């Protein structure tokens, strides 16, 4: 008998509860995504990560690179490959939960962007119904055009959405203000009470927040024809282990 399957809603709660990141001091744990790329593509990968950060298409500018043979969580980086750790947007859910704001993670999907404005979700997988991170499977469906959003401001990106009770609106506002001065830049759009956000309905008296998926730069790398393997929500990492991508 193997362990019962775990749906993503449960994984998000488990990870979010362990987030200790404090945006004001830039200290503590964040949730990270782990991706593998080929060593020969590394220069291109760093270029894309920089562009994605500059154009706001990453959850954060913080990254960590690991070379072949180094260990990360339960894996060893294979020969000829480099591991890239990026901040996962579930970190936001963690920040909200730690501040006493109950949230419902809704799901992950693909958002249409026009002239740098998010228009609507065009695909969605609800967390409650899946054991694999939606953005991990949507990444490989040729549904994204992250590169085009970086270059021309229009296209399709990966994003996720959660909702909170409107009672907590001012507290959420505070957290978002703190984030605006930190290295977490992934907020895509905040909705209004009882109003669907980017086409996704909310529960009665709830407000939705959409976030840029942390794996967008990896989707862009894939669009560029490079091999990438992504594991979303791989674990927790102290931000002191990560560096700003602009320093590379």
Residues 90-149 that bind another protein (CB under 8 A): 107, 109, 112, 120-126, 128-132, 136-142
* Backbone phi and psi for residue 236, each to the nearest 5 degrees, phi listed first: -115, 150
Q: How far is the CB of 177 from another protein (least distance, A)?
A: 29
Minimum CB distance to another protein smaller for 50 or for 156:
156
CA distance 37 to 238: 22
According to the binding rule CB under 8 A, does residue 2 interact with another protein? yes
Cβ proximity to another protein: between 102 and 196 the closer is 196
Coil, helix or strand for 219? Answer: helix
Q: How far is the CB of 141 from another protein (least distance, A)?
A: 5
Phi, psi of 144 (to 5 degrees): -95, 155
In contact, 49 and 245? CB cutoff 8 Å = yes
Do residues 188 and 89 touch, judged by C-beta distance below 8 A?
no
**What's the CA gap between 230 and 213, in Å, rounded?**
12
Looking at residue 227, the DSSP 8-state letter turns out to be -
Rounded to whole angstroms, the Cα distance separating 111 from 199 reads: 10
- Enter the DSSP assignment of 200: B
Stretch of 3-11, 147-155, 177-185, 204-212 contacting another protein, by CB under 8 A = 3-11
Least distance to another protein, CB of residue 226, Å = 15
Judged by CB under 8 A, which stretch of 23-31, 145-153, 176-184, 197-205 contacts another protein? 197-205
Q: Which of residues 171-190 bind another protein (CB under 8 A)?
A: none
**Total binding residues for another protein by CB under 8 A?**
32
- The residues of the shown chain that bind another protein, judged by CB under 8 A, are 1-5, 7, 107, 109, 112, 120-126, 128-132, 136-142, 196, 199-201
């Amino acid at each position: 008998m193997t362990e019962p399957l775990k749906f993503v809603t449960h994984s998000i709660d488990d990870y979010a509860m362990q987030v200790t990141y404090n945006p004001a001091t830039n200290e503590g744990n964040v949730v990270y995504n782990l991706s593998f790329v080929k060593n020969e593509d590394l220069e291109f990968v760093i270029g894309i990560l920089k562009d994605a950060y500059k154009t706001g298409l990453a959850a954060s500018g913080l990254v960590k690179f690991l070379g072949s043979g180094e260990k990360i969580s339960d894996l060893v980086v294979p020969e000829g490959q480099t591991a890239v750790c990026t901040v996962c947007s579930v970190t936001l859910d963690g920040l909200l939960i730690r501040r006493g704001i109950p949230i419902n993670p809704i799901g992950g999907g693909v958002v249409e962007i026009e002239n740098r404005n998010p228009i609507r979700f065009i695909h969605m997988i609800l967390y409650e119904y899946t054991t694999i991170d939606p953005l991990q499977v949507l990444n490989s469906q040729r549904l994204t055009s992250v590169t085009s959003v970086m270059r021309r401001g229009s296209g399709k990106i990966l994003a996720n959405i959660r909702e909170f009770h409107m009672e907590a609106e001012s507290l959420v506002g505070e957290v978002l203000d703190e984030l605006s001065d930190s290295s977490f830049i992934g907020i895509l759009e905040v909705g209004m009470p009882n109003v669907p956000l980017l086409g996704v309905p909310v529960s009665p008296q709830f407000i939705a927040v959409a976030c840029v998926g942390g794996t967008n730069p990896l989707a862009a790398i894939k669009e560029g024809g490079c091999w990438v393997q992504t594991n979303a929500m791989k674990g927790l990492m102290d931000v002191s282990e990560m560096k700003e991508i602009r320093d590379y």
